[in-house]
């Protein structure tokens, strides 16, 4: 039994109004709202535990370290990694991908080597590779998609050659909602001896992910998109790969011994965690993961899928509606345009009705080029959204459309 009223009561912000209307928050792809337990865990830790982790012999430092390291175990279990050594805390998906592009590029890529990405990537899975391209002369190869927003797997296979060093793809598109067949894509890459990085920013909040099942080599996600705090993220990496990579940033925590003659680096995962980590944030992430686990990722998945297909049905009946992304396996994201109403006008007018949606290119300009548009309006759902909110959205779109 999915008790939506009880769930909504956990999120104080959902009770507020904007412009004297009840808030309808449909910008979850950008960031999710936080349940009371997450915010309270942060306050509580600052009030009663706060001390820098790892370095202290004193009581508080040890308590803070325990919470921080217990969070690593919570993350490990959530994504079913083999070992806590495979869980690197970062600032978010963006930093996780930059870390990997930088370290993997330094260790394994030379001029003329290639990385395969897809046409539907977020800028954060394009630009780090382009920076590497500038630094080292590597090349980007791009997996094309069909008009429905499905990656062309036969074209994907053709992109592999003796210079392919890594594949880096989104698990779920933040614009189209397409769920890419990662397991199959990993199988193909591995058959060519190539590792795979998965951008899980938009998958982790919506369905259970399993590192051992997907068999990807690296996986990145952000806490703030899964009801956790901003400024924290995770890079998962198979231990045998992380062992082979050089450190990312230098500083405290990531070293074993330092002298001016020679510095040795700490073991995994600390080798990649220079400086004081956001230990309050990592604990809050663990609280968020416990929260979604308590509801159940499968229940969240069913609820959101039902909501998405209901929204698709209702929205498709609106005159002039164009929906971008109609793949068979589509997650809780709907990008659309109505007639020739500019996405910014639609978004601004919906906002006046209390409906928060995102407009623009959604940090996926190459995808916008592929679709031949400048931007879309995007409604993205979370575990607390309701059918009534979808009805409000649909009525809002119709009302805005009637004004043009
Ligand atoms: N990848 C995808 C698919 C995303 O949707 C986002 C966030 N919009 C990111 C990466 C970047 O995440 P963050 O800003 O949390 O680093």
The verdict on the CB of residue 222 being under 6 Å from ligand 1 is yes
Listed as ranges, residues in the chain with pLDDT below 70 are none
Give pLDDT, residue 56: 85
Between the CA of 96 and the centroid of ligand 1 the distance, in Å, is 10
Give pLDDT, residue 222: 99
Q: Which residues touch 284 (CB under 8 Å, ≥6 apart)?
A: 38, 41, 42, 45, 223, 228, 229, 232
pTM: 0.98
The pLDDT > 90 percentage for the chain reads: 99
Residue of 172, 174, 288 to test ligand 1 pocket, by largest number of atoms within 8 Å of CB: 174
363 carries an active-site annotation = yes
- Burial classification of residue 267, based on how many CB atoms lie within 10 Å of its CB (0-12 exposed, 13-18 middle, 19 or more buried): exposed
* 392-403 pLDDT, tens digit each: 999 999 999 999
Give pLDDT, residue 55: 80
* 315-338 pLDDT, tens digit each: 999 999 999 999 999 999 999 999
Q: Which two tokens stand for residue 291?
A: 């929260």
- For residues 49 and 58, the answer to whether their CB atoms sit within 8 Å is no
Across the strands, what pairs with 88? 235
User: Looking at residue 332, what DSSP letter applies?
Assistant: S
């Amino acid at each position: 039994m999915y008790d939506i009223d009880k769930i909504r009561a956990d999120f104080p912000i959902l009770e507020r109004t904007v412009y004297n209307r009840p808030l309808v928050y449909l910008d979850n792809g950008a960031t999710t709202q936080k349940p009371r337990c997450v915010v309270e865990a942060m306050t509580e830790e600052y009030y009663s535990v706060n001390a820098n982790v790892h370095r202290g012999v004193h009581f508080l430092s040890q308590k803070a370290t325990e919470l921080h390291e217990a969070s690593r175990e919570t993350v490990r279990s959530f994504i079913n990694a083999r070992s806590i050594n495979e869980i690197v805390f970062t600032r978010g998906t963006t930093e996780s991908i930059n870390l990997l592009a930088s370290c993997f590029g330094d260790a394994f890529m030379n001029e003329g080597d290639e990385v395969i990405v897809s046409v539907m990537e977020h800028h954060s899975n394009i630009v780090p590779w382009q920076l590497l391209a500038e630094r080292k002369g590597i090349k980007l190869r791009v997996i094309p998609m069909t008009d429905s927003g499905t990656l062309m797997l036969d074209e994907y296979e053709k992109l592999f050659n003796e210079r392919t060093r890594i594949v880096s793809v989104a698990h779920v598109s933040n614009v189209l909602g397409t769920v890419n067949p990662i397991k199959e894509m990993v199988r193909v890459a591995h058959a060519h001896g190539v590792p795979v990085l998965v951008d899980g920013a938009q998958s982790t909040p919506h369905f259970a992910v399993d590192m051992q099942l997907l068999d990807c080599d690296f996986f990145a996600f952000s806490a703030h998109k899964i009801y956790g705090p901003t400024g924290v993220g995770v890079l998962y990496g198979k231990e045998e790969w992380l062992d082979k990579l050089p450190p990312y940033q230098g500083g405290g925590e990531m070293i074993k011994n330092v002298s001016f003659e020679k510095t040795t680096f700490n073991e995994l995962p600390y080798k990649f965690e220079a400086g004081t980590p956001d230990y309050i944030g990592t604990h809050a992430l663990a609280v968020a993961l416990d929260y979604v686990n308590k509801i159940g990722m499968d229940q969240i998945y069913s609820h959101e899928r039902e909501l998405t297909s209901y929204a698709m049905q209702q929205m498709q009946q609106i005159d002039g509606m164009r929906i971008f992304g109609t793949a068979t396996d589509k997650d809780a994201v709907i990008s659309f345009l109505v007639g020739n109403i500019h996405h910014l006008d639609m978004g601004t007018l919906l906002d006046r009705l209390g409906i928060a949606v995102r407009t623009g290119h959604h940090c996926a300009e190459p995808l916008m080029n592929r679709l031949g548009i400048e931007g879309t309006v995007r409604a993205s759902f979370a575990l607390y959204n309701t059918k009534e909110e979808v009805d409000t959205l649909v009525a809002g779109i119709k009302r805005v459309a009637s004004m043009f």
